[in-house]
Amino acid sequence: MSTAHDLRARVRAAFDAIGAQVDLAEPGGPGLPASTPVTGEVLFTHPETTPEQTRTAIADAAQAFTTWRTTPAPVRGQLVARLGELLREHKADVATLVTVEAGKITSEALGEVQEMIDICDFAVGLSRQLYGRTIASERPGHRLMENWHPLGVVGVITAFNFPVAVWAWNTAVALVCGDTVVWKPSELTPLTAIACQALIERAASDVGAPAHLSRLVLGGREVGEALVDDPRVALVSATGSVRMGRQVGPRVAERFGRVLLELGGNNAAVVTPSADLDLAVRGIVFSAAGTAGQRCTTLRRLIAHTSVVDTLVERITAAYRSLPIGDPAAEGTLVGPLIHETAYRDMVRALERARNDGGEVIGGERVHVGDEATEAFYVTPAVVRMPAQTEIVHNETFAPILYVLTYTTLDEAIELNNAVPQGLSSAIFTTDVREAERFLAADGSDCGIANVNIGTSGAEIGGAFGGEKQTGGGRESGSDSWKAYMRRATNTVNYSSELPLAQGVHFG
């Protein structure tokens, strides 16, 4: 089991390799704490950004925007290409910090950095494909067209569970679109943010890009509020809880800014009688237990046909018992820690409420890893057979709890899938093409992501990521998500010597 001393050494080694220059003080000193869920201890303290410093960072980014917006998009792409190269070079270093700060197992941490590399590749290609369109004009001698222009400063607020990938989703795309970025990471994961800021600054220096294209602000609520309320921030892209989104959305709207919200998920998988159960079990176990249940796309509800539910639960619980739980950096570990004690307490309360609602709970116990006195919180993933989709099932608990519900008709299964206030990710396991197509149809899953024969988590960057209802409606990453970071201008060019009016209007 890793000790705090080991983890501090790994952080310093990664910072040295990356070239991150920051004053990391020993625990107990002035500044904000940087903790690890691996042992539950504070590793360092680091300087906090004040609200006034946040406003200065926004001003710097706004000034940089005046130059960056007129830089040709393919040239902007060179910066993102260089960032991708540096991420490839330091993939293991950044992944080490993700494991230390977020508690992800090594494979998932490396996968998160690979996601950053992938979005850089995507954005570089995008830098030559920011297409407008030509539209048929009803007036002779006229051309009607659309152009897309940079939007401005983009404020990015990220959560602890993907401490670097979501920043990269936003930053890579925003930069090629001609925007500048001010990033407020979760106060639980400052070290990964400091490392990424060092890499983007190095990339900008290497390609001769303007300074202050990407700024980092570290702190809590006051720092976030300064970012949200500043009229110079054209778009706020915020990832977090529904509660946070309820506060961010109206505050930005009040000043007529734009928001891109990625909020809660309460994701379900339907398993039909025709499903390949071997495939389903593998997909369910990773989606439900991976990242210790702390993904926004984690599978939280299993909607199984009455004819397969008993077999399915038996196989899932058997698989759960075989999952190695422990130090996320240790070889073979598949389930690491919860982020902190609050997450553990939330899990305990949710399981107790499920029992009170008639649920049968299997698993969900705390596991002591290493020192019995550790402040870390490791748990066994829980399977909970529920008699109905009660209020606790409608609420997202950020922990490895899989509620099991049953159905008899596909209409009933789709109704259960859609009956929660969140609408992020969903899946169906079936070998019946009619069932699959019905699930994907307009009257099927109401989620932003609907999968067939794969789990709810593990999205690729080529597709737009995001959800509906209380998930916030935002879209990030691939497809045409870039349009959120630009403003559209409709242009009419009259190249004739006449001046006909639209709709046949005559004036004078």
Tell me if 43 sits within 8 A of 34, measured CB to CB: yes
What's the angle, vertex CA 19, arms to CA 18 and CA 20, rounded to 5?
Answer: 95
| 460 assigned to active site | no
Of 101, 108, 262, 476, the active-site residue reads 262
Element (H, E) at 65: helix 51-68
Going by C-beta distance under 8 Å and a sequence separation of 6 or more, which residues neighbour residue 395?
266, 350
Tell me if 476 sits within 8 A of 166, measured CB to CB: yes
**Residue 136 structure tokens:** 């048929």
**One-letter identity of residue 78:** Q
Element (H, E) at 356: helix 341-356
Cα 150 to chain centroid, rounded: 23
Q: Is 318 helix (H, G, I), strand (E, B) or coil?
A: helix
Strand segments, DSSP code E, in 48-141 are 133-135
Cα–Cα distance, 425 to 445 (Å, whole number): 9
What's the angle, vertex CA 266, arms to CA 462 and CA 318, rounded to 5?
Answer: 95
Q: Is the dihedral of CA 268, 101, 485, 204 positive or negative?
A: negative
Q: Is 45 helix (H, G, I), strand (E, B) or coil?
A: strand
Query: Which residues are identified as catalytic?
Result: 262
